């Protein structure tokens, strides 16, 4: 036994009702997705890391410059670093950014 109507006209009516209901559900999902996207866009971005290591171009991708995390002169080749890693890089001869002066901020001066 089926819980569906036994005749074609009522089955077509049910099909139409289900299609309309599905459309309404999809419209509401779209509204909720828009609201969620707007909400997430309003959230503040995460804070920058304290220190950054800028890596060179090439196979080795060795660090070429150390930056303070919010330096305006960073490039896309930067990765977050801890203070110890930044100090070690400076001690090993990696250049300090001349704009943000991480060597001064870390207390590592020549």
Segments of the chain assigned E as strands: 51-55, 63-68, 78-81, 95-96
Mean pLDDT of 39-49: 85
Same domain, 58 and 21: no
The residue behind tokens 């801890």 is: 82
Question: What is the total count of domains within the chain?
Answer: 2
pLDDT of residue 59: 66
- pTM across the whole model: 0.59
Q: What are the residues whose beta carbons fall under 8 Å from the beta carbon of 70, sequence distance 6 or more?
A: 48, 100
pLDDT of residue 49: 92
Same domain, 39 and 1: yes
pLDDT tens for 58-70 read 767 889 999 999 9
* Structural domain for 12, as ranges: 1-43
Return the higher-pLDDT residue of 104 and 29. Answer: 29
Same domain, 18 and 34: yes
Same domain, 36 and 59: no
pLDDT of residue 45: 79
**What is residue 61's three-state secondary structure?**
coil
Strand partners of residue 67? 52
Same domain, 95 and 61: yes
């Amino acid at each position: 036994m089926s819980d569906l109507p036994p005749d074609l006209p009522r089955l077509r009516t049910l099909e139409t009702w289900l299609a309309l209901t599905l459309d309404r559900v999809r419209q509401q999902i779209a509204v909720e997705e828009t609201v969620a996207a707007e909400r997430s866009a309003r959230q503040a971005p995460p804070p920058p890391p304290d220190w950054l290591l800028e890596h060179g171009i090439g196979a080795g991708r060795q660090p070429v410059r150390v930056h303070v995390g919010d330096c305006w002169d960073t490039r896309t080749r930067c990765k977050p670093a801890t203070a110890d890693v930044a100090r070690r890089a400076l001690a090993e001869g990696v250049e300090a950014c001349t704009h943000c002066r991480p060597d001064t901020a870390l207390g590592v001066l020549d």
